Chains A and B, each alone.
Chain A
Amino acid sequence: MNTRKDCRVSPEICDIFCMDSVIQFKNAAAIFNHDRRQTGLIMASTGLSAMFGPATFCAVTGGSRGLGRSIAVQLAGRLGEGSRLVLTGRSLQGLQETKRQVEEGCPNQLEVKLVTGDMEDTTAYPALFFDIFADTQPGDFKNALMIHNAGTVGDVSKRAAEHSDPQILNKYYATNLTSVIALTAKFMEVFPCSDVRRTVVNISSGAAIEPLAHHALYCSGKAARNMFFKVMAEEEPDVRVLSYSPGPLDTDMLQTVRSCGDKKIEDRFNAMESKGLILSPDHSAKHMCTLLDEDKFKSGAFLDVFDRFSL
């Protein structure tokens, strides 16, 4: 049984005292990742991922910007012939830009489908999920990959004691928790058999295990997702399940967090930035792809871009 007490967890991004250790980890990871990069270069030259090459169905939520866009571009370079990449998000314009970048960088013919929708609206799920998986015959694919990347931080100006509106909370959990569960169920309904190699990735955060001031909603949504996917890994041994913490990324989401009104948090991110600890989403997306390619993770594990923890 994994207990939080037993795991050696480096403090999350907001804990200033860990910064030196994060720098050390990052340097160590950079050296360690050199070998991985070599492997990655070899793979990139053949254009195919070792694990999810030809005939892969891949859905990425929140594909209109940030990490979702980077994941789409990184994956596209690895998906082989007969693959399909489905990107969802609220912004059609954003999705179209992602598609443009995907097609620009992708050496192989890849079908890219865009589906706009808002995960906050639970009544729209049936139509949204139908669109994501429309014309998907499991027999057409050898691999199926579901990446739950879409997420929001919630109102970071509020402390836990100030979250008094249940409708706001209900919407938050719809977007960040319910949608993920229901979409996973749909994914598994479309790909019910182990003839297709199925992988589900939960884009998580250190916030799932480390309480962060002003982030009650974000912490709770991520904690719930992590546990949910651990149970999934127990129940579905034929499915590869990974919770991945991408680290502090230079995205719109980080800007929201940085302007939450808490001076300590602002100071910490400023300090991290000055030490070069804010990552590009491309870097984190590559690391995630490497983890998937190496395929060594224990199903249900919670891994981090800095390799700080493995739960």
Chain B
Amino acid sequence: MALSESVQNSSVLGKPTLCVITGASRGLGRSLSVELSGRLGEGSRLVLTARSLSGLEQTQALVVNKTTSVSVKLVCGDLEDSDKYQDFFRELFSDVTPGVFQHALLIHNASTLGDVSKRVVEHCDAEVLQKYYTVNVTSVITLTARFLQVFPSSDMTRTVVNITSSAGFTPIKTNSLYCSGKAARDIVFKVLAEESPEVRVLSFSPGAMDTEMFDYYRTHVGDPEVRALLCQQAEDGKLLKPDFSAQKLVQILVENSYKSGAILDVLDRFEH
């Protein structure tokens, strides 16, 4: 796992990088922020966004503790509020002087499970459904579009990462929204990879992790079979640490040999 300094410095992450991470206030987003901060080249900037300012501040504190060669900018916002995207996205990419960064990296980590107590036939509220797909699909597409507008040049490396899940191709009871949202995202990124071959596009499945999202899932899921499985997973110690998943993703980015548009798994259990 450890790379020689020269390999690391010559990697795409070793360049001055503008890195945006959504959902950075906790869980995998926090782990990614910390892991990346130790790998990004001097002069890089981490832009961390989430709903919780206090969560973001705690992530920032961990980053600052690790390194001083990366600046951190915090932007509070709610991806459910699509009316505010223009202002929100402007803030994410403000003060970007052209030519300063040689690499731009966007990590779509923010995600929600939706109401896992509901079966398919109970999803009757169109407003709830719309909000779900706004957060988990629309925000990702429009933020990527904005990102590629801000960094249009193929003189620099641009990388877009979609944090996904095997739920994108494995149907799970009472998880219809999450499964469908991930399936939608996964194929959008494949289309992006095909249309924009100069952009590095990666979908990464971090596995079931010991995070608040998993905890919410386990305690709220409506189907007793699924709940039993999740509890078993937790009890058997099968949950990954988000730091582990973050390290794996960063390793993949450093090696930079993935096929653009690929969907990779933290434990190499599949590759699509």
| Chain A positions near chain B (C-beta within 8 angstroms) | 1-5, 122, 125, 159-167, 169-170, 173-174, 177-179, 181-182, 184-186, 188-189, 208-209, 211-216, 219-221, 223-228, 230-236, 300
**In whole angstroms, what is the CA distance A122 to B179 when docked?**
22
- The segment out of B24-32, B34-42, B46-54, B115-123 that lies at the interface is B115-123
Are the CB atoms of B120 and A185 closer together than 8 Å?
A: yes
Contacts of A300 in B (CB 8 A): 171
Contacts of A160 in B (CB 8 A): 141, 144-145, 188, 191-192, 195-196
CB closest residue in chain B, given A207: B187
What are 25 A-B residue pairs whose CB atoms fall within 8 Å in the complex? Answer: A1-B169, A2-B169, A3-B169, A122-B126, A160-B196, A161-B192, A163-B141, A164-B146, A170-B130, A173-B130, A177-B184, A178-B129, A184-B120, A185-B121, A185-B123, A185-B124, A188-B121, A216-B192, A220-B191, A224-B181, A227-B171, A227-B180, A230-B179, A232-B120, A235-B174
**In whole angstroms, what is the CA distance A160 to B189 when docked?**
8
- State the 6 A-B residue pairs at the shortest beta-carbon distance, nearest first: A211-B190, A230-B171, A166-B82, A220-B184, A224-B180, A185-B124
**In whole angstroms, what is the CA distance A1 to B170 when docked?**
7
**In whole angstroms, what is the CA distance A163 to B183 when docked?**
18
Taking the complex as formed, is B175 at the interface, i.e. its CB lies under 8 A from any CB of chain A?
Answer: yes
Are the CB atoms of A163 and B142 closer together than 8 Å?
A: yes
Taking the complex as formed, is B20 at the interface, i.e. its CB lies under 8 A from any CB of chain A?
Answer: no
Nearest-neighbour CB distance to chain A for B148, whole angstroms, equals 5
Are the CB atoms of B191 and A211 closer together than 8 Å?
A: yes
Are the CB atoms of B184 and A224 closer together than 8 Å?
A: yes
Contacts of A231 in B (CB 8 A): 120, 171-176, 179-180
Nearest-neighbour CB distance to chain A for B99, whole angstroms, equals 21
Nearest-neighbour CB distance to chain B for A15, whole angstroms, equals 11
**In whole angstroms, what is the CA distance A62 to B259 when docked?**
39
CB closest residue in chain A, given B120: A232
Contacts of B125 in A (CB 8 A): 182
Are the CB atoms of A4 and B176 closer together than 8 Å?
A: no
- The segment out of B11-19, B131-139, B231-239, B248-256 that lies at the interface is B131-139
**In whole angstroms, what is the CA distance A241 to B133 when docked?**
23
Are the CB atoms of B120 and A169 closer together than 8 Å?
A: no
Contacts of A159 in B (CB 8 A): 192, 195-196
Taking the complex as formed, is B108 at the interface, i.e. its CB lies under 8 A from any CB of chain A?
Answer: no
Taking the complex as formed, is B243 at the interface, i.e. its CB lies under 8 A from any CB of chain A?
Answer: no
- Contact A225-B180, Cβ < 8 Å, known A170-B138, A185-B120, A220-B188: yes
Are the CB atoms of A212 and B126 closer together than 8 Å?
A: no
**In whole angstroms, what is the CA distance A224 to B271 when docked?**
20
**In whole angstroms, what is the CA distance A125 to B126 when docked?**
8
**In whole angstroms, what is the CA distance A116 to B122 when docked?**
25
Contacts of A174 in B (CB 8 A): 126, 130
**In whole angstroms, what is the CA distance A214 to B169 when docked?**
23
**In whole angstroms, what is the CA distance A13 to B26 when docked?**
43
